[in-house]
Amino acid sequence: MLDISFAKSVLPQSGAVVLLVAEGETATADMVAALDSATGGAIARAFAAAEFTGKAGSTCVILAPGAGLSRVVAVGLGTHDAITHRTAEAAGGTAAAALMRETQATIAAGGLSCEMAAAVAMGACLKAYRFDRYRTTEKAEDKPRLTRLTVLAADIAVAKSAWAPLKATVDGVFLSRDLVSEPPNVLTPAEMADRCKALESLGLKVEVFGPKEMTKLGFGALMGVAAGSACEPRMVVMSWHGASGSTSKGKKSGKTQPIAFVGKGVTFDTGGISIKPAGGMEDMKWDMAGAGTVVGLMAALAGRKAKVDVVGLVGLVENMPSGTAMRPGDVVTSYSGQTIEVLNTDAEGRLVLADVLYYCQQRFDPKFMIDLATLTGAMIVTLGHEYAGYFSNNDALAAQLYAAGDETGEKLWRMPLADVYDKQLKSEIADMKNITGRPGSAITAAQFIQRFVNGKTWAHLDIAGMAWSSKDTATIPKGATAYGVRLLDRLVSAHYES
């Protein structure tokens, strides 16, 4: 992560400078005027030549303008009354992208509040993320050089205070992106469980369940998915008691109702016996992105000492074809006692969630449960890569999720639940089957999961189209997005912290 610091708004004497400029204020902003004077009018001339007006997302790069500066990057914020945290984050990301040939730089946040200045720093960090663990021959000139960023703010103490929780959220995002980016020969269920266990250093309580424990519990659905792999499955339960105090200062908490997040963690999905086509199968390393989001979220909440009681559960399996693999036509008995006719072994994520969700509500009796899963290709067909589809049995929770998605830019679109879809899950020989026909298949998948919610307030996020990005955005480089970490962190901070 970039080394972020905050300083008073004084004119930099060297290095690179970023000017954040509101639309219509290119000549009146204090730092713009000061730099223009110091560089003999170079800033104003460049703005005029580039027709830079401060329009949101626009940039103007000035190389070696004088006054000891290596470059000046102007980033437009749009009209002053339309600037939001998302605008500030995007401006920070745009600035970071333009500064990668510099080693350090200063961002002049203009008339932005200290909270907005912290948001600029967050955007810059999110954009500067890079997964390069396995690069061994990359040339030095191809590597980004930016390591330190100083953000000028009106009040250093206030800006630092605003930055602290944002940094914890960025840490959680980076953890999620790292997990999703890892190759599947490295990130097995056992390895991912070990990385979850390491989060105890943040104050989380972490429990790891292996195949013996899950078999004893009766996790027939999850264990059925794992049956074909040489890599043993795991379930990880992470607990944070930031409201009741049981994870801080050693206090014993009373009976509380936590909120719960559950993630599908298929560390590699071949489809099992119902094997996928070879083309594009390498993408299935990120079929654990729902679990990756839950892990990153729990790290973010613990990192910023969120005043809330939360549990995060992830079911970790590898779905492989072998002589021991679950077959199409098999019937498995889930932890709930309900039987499932498995007609397609590539509809495996819902089987993992079935056991983990039922265990979660039986053990913790949470206020509500939210699960995340790269569940269906049908959701990508429906919404593309712009929105995640979500389902809920509670309108109030659904509204809160939508608002959090809108505020963070991790957008959601609500999909229906109805008995007419649920009836399509009827099996001839078991309590239900795990697939239906292609029409409405993302909906019937959600209906399947709802059968294991047992009436608890719940939402299901199908993030299949959002876990990985094939293009750069203002704050997301190509690759793993960590979609959902910021959205759910915002949901918690806005509605559920004491």
Indicate whether 249 pLDDT > 50: no
Please report the pLDDT score of residue 25 as a whole number.
Answer: 82
Separation of alpha carbons 434 and 447, rounded Å? 10
Active site residues: 276, 350
Lowest-confidence range among 30-44, 188-202, 362-376? 30-44
Burial 125-143 (b: 16+ CB within 10 A, else e): bbbbbeeeeeeeeeeeeee
> pLDDT value at position 11?
84
Half-sphere exposure of 49 (CA within 13 A, CB side): 9
Q: Rounded mean pLDDT of 56-78?
A: 94
Nearest alpha carbon to residue 167 among 403, 410, 3, 292: 3
Asked if the model's pLDDT at residue 250 lies above 80, the reply is no
Residue 28 — very low, low, confident or very high, per pLDDT cuts 50/70/90? low
**pLDDT tens-digit series, residues 154-168:** 999 999 999 999 999
Q: Residue 247: its pLDDT value, please?
A: 47
Percent of the chain with pLDDT over 90: 90
pTM of the model: 0.96
Q: Domain 3-154, CATH 3.40.220.10 — does that match?
A: yes
| Average pLDDT for the chain | 95
Higher pLDDT, residue 248 or 445: 445
Q: Using 50, 70 and 90 to split pLDDT, how confident is the model at 251?
A: very low
Rounded mean pLDDT of 95-103?
A: 93
d(CA 32, CA 59): 14
Rounded to 5 degrees, what are φ and ψ at 60? -145, 120
What does the block give as tokens for 237? Answer: 């339960």
Q: What is the pLDDT of residues 121-138, one digit of tens each?
A: 999 999 999 999 999 998
Phi, psi of 29 (to 5 degrees): -60, 135
Decide if pLDDT at 252 tops 50. Answer: no
Report the interhelical angle of 156-181 vs 289-303 (nearest 10°).
150
108 pLDDT more than 90: yes
CATH architecture of 167-495: 3-Layer(aba) Sandwich (3.40)
d(CA 203, CA 153): 32
Per-residue pLDDT for 181 more than 70?
yes
How do the residues of the chain divide into helix, strand and coil, expressed in percent and rounded to 5? 40, 20, 40
Domain ranges of the chain: 3-154, 167-495
Average pLDDT of the segment spanning 264-271: 98
Residues 6+ apart with CB under 8 A from 77: 20, 21, 22, 23, 54, 56, 83, 87, 88, 91, 110
Q: How confident is the model at residue 110 (pLDDT cuts 50, 70, 90)?
A: low
Higher pLDDT, 466 or 250: 466
What's the token pair of residue 49?
A: 């030549």
* pLDDT tens track for 317-365: 999 999 999 999 999 999 999 999 999 999 999 999 999 999 999 999 9
